[in-house]
Amino acid sequence: MVGEVIRYYRQKHRMMLTDIAEITGLSSNYLYDIENNIVQNPPLEILSKIAYTLNISIDMLNECLTKNSIKKIDQEWMYLLNQAIQYGVNKTDLLSLILDKMKKGQA
């Protein structure tokens, strides 16, 4: 299902797999496999790159994944997430942090 959403928005933006590959640094073959659900649970980092490129919410892609397979988050991650929320970190802040980290990794 996540692959179908990616394909829809890629086509909506009139982009080829090679365009997405060039921007994200991923291979066209890997993107093809995601779109065709050969890779069924791509890492969140990969989905973030694709979502950013397609100008869509990572939440949308993550929701597609969790509908297909329930992911268990270990207790340490839940604790850290709850602490972040208590200190005022919102989804936008967290996504910005992730995207900044990704940009630094690509530089």
Question: H helices within the chain, ranges in order?
Answer: 2-12, 17-24, 28-35, 44-54, 58-68, 75-86, 91-106
Whether residue 5 contacts residue 60, with contact meaning beta carbons closer than 8 Å, is answered with: yes
The tens digit of pLDDT for each residue in 28-45 reads 999 999 999 899 888 888
pTM of the model: 0.59
Query: What does the radius of gyration of the chain's CA atoms come to, in whole angstroms?
Result: 15
Per-residue model confidence as pLDDT tens digits over 34-82: 999 899 888 888 999 999 999 988 887 777 666 654 445 667 777 888 8
Average pLDDT of the segment spanning 6-16:
92
Three-class secondary structure of residue 8 per DSSP: helix
Q: Give the C-alpha separation, 31 to 21, whole Å.
A: 7
